[in-house]
């Protein structure tokens, strides 16, 4: 049976350290504040917003949610972002995904100041990420690396396979792992014969959003398996990995829930504090 990579436990440990940093900032009259723009009534977004608010309160970070109607115009959204950009009290800005179809997400992200971009999704911050001189890191990717580091899983020279090429997980995770000298392959919906790649992986990360996608036959003995998938099946939350099948064959494996999810939220708070410190010359 593979050792469980306890993301929830690590998230709580890191949150305690972050809480101390926030307390020190407040003693200097600096209050970390980030704003979330949520457009429409996506159920998943509402759950995530509640989770972020709870964690922010525990750490001492102020969060303000701008709840916009589902028919919000592009022009009004951009005007709001511009307003938040120039407000010196606001240290971080993020647009909650997904957004309604009338919203041009790329244009909206381009409007966010790179100095307040907690998601690392503005074009300049994405470029810095791939160039290797980034300041912020996307929360999920940051959380995955923190978890591997905590369990002393070295990436240097390892074959890493990532299933999923999204801008918030797959692509930035590949960039960060390349920085640590891993050899990275990114798989996606058009990839033929996934198992040809996954069987060679020392570390397999699945962020496809497809329940039960990864089975025991797809991994090699003693692989490290990181499950980023969040899927609802028969009223239960499950990942992309068939946990019961894969766990006996893996050396390490993340559970769902309790693996990467809690670290994503905690990592977001880390980015908020980093930006707050930098924006105040700390």
The arithmetic mean of pLDDT across residues 240-251, rounded, is 97
Torsion of CA 164, 247, 146, 151, to 10 degrees: -150
Give the active site residue among 119, 202, 227, 240. 119
pLDDT of 282 > 90? The answer is: no
pLDDT of 281 > 90? The answer is: no
Question: Does 149 participate in catalysis according to the annotation?
Answer: no
pLDDT value, residue 218: 97
Where are the chain's structural domains? 29-113, 139-262
- CATH (one of 3.40.710.10, 3.40.640.10, 3.40.50.10860, 1.20.120.420) for 29-113: 3.40.50.10860
pLDDT value, residue 104: 98
Nearest to 218 by CA among 202, 199, 205: 199
Compute the half-sphere exposure of residue 41: CA atoms within 13 Å on the CB side of its CA.
2
Give the active site residue among 6, 21, 63, 96. 96
pLDDT value, residue 45: 86
Nearest to 277 by CA among 35, 112, 61: 61
The answer to whether the 29-113 and 139-262 domains have the same CATH topology is yes
pLDDT value, residue 43: 84
Give the active site residue among 6, 52, 158, 271. 52
The arithmetic mean of pLDDT across residues 188-199, rounded, is 95
Question: Does 64 participate in catalysis according to the annotation?
Answer: no
Model pTM above 0.85: yes
Question: Does 52 participate in catalysis according to the annotation?
Answer: yes
pLDDT of 48 > 90? The answer is: no
In the three-class reduction of DSSP (H, G, I as helix; E, B as strand; rest coil), residue 205 is classed as: strand
pLDDT of 226 > 90? The answer is: yes
CA gap 104, 109 in Å, rounded: 9
Per mean pLDDT, which range of 55-64, 93-102, 229-238 is the poorest? 229-238
Is the Cβ–Cβ distance between 222 and 194 less than 8 Å?
A: no
Which tens digits make up the pLDDT trace of 137-168? Answer: 999 999 999 999 999 999 999 999 999 999 99
**CATH class of residue range 139-262:** alpha beta
């Amino acid at each position: 049976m593979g050792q469980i990579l306890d993301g929830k436990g690590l998230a709580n440990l890191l949150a305690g350290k972050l809480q101390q940093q926030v307390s020190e900032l407040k003693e200097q009259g600096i209050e970390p504040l980030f704003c979330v723009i949520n457009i429409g009534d996506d159920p998943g977004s509402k759950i995530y917003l509640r989770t972020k608010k709870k964690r922010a309160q525990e750490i001492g970070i102020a969060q303000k949610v701008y709840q916009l109607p589902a028919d919000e115009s592009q022009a009004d959204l951009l005007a709001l972002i511009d307003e938040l950009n120039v407000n010196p009290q606001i240290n971080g800005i993020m647009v909650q995904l997904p957004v309604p179809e009338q919203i041009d997400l790329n244009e909206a992200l381009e409007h966010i100041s790179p100095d307040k971009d907690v998601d690392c999704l503005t074009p300049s911050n994405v470029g810095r990420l791939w160039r290797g001189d980034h300041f912020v890191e996307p929360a999920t990717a940051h959380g995955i690396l923190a978890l591997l580091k905590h369990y002393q899983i070295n990436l240097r020279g390892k074959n890493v396979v990532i299933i999923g090429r999204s801008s918030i997980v797959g692509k930035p995770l590949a960039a960060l792992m390349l920085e640590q000298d891993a050899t990275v392959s990114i798989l996606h919906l058009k990839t033929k014969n996934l198992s040809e790649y996954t069987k060679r992986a020392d570390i397999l990360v699945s962020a496809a959003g497809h329940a039960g996608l990864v089975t025991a036959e797809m991994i090699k003995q003693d692989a490290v398996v990181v499950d980023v998938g969040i899927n609802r099946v028969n009223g239960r939350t499950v990942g992309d990995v068939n946990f019961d099948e894969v766990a006996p064959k893996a050396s390490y494996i993340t559970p769902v829930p309790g693996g990467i999810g809690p670290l994503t939220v905690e990592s977001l708070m880390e980015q908020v504090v980093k930006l707050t410190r930098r924006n105040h010359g700390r």
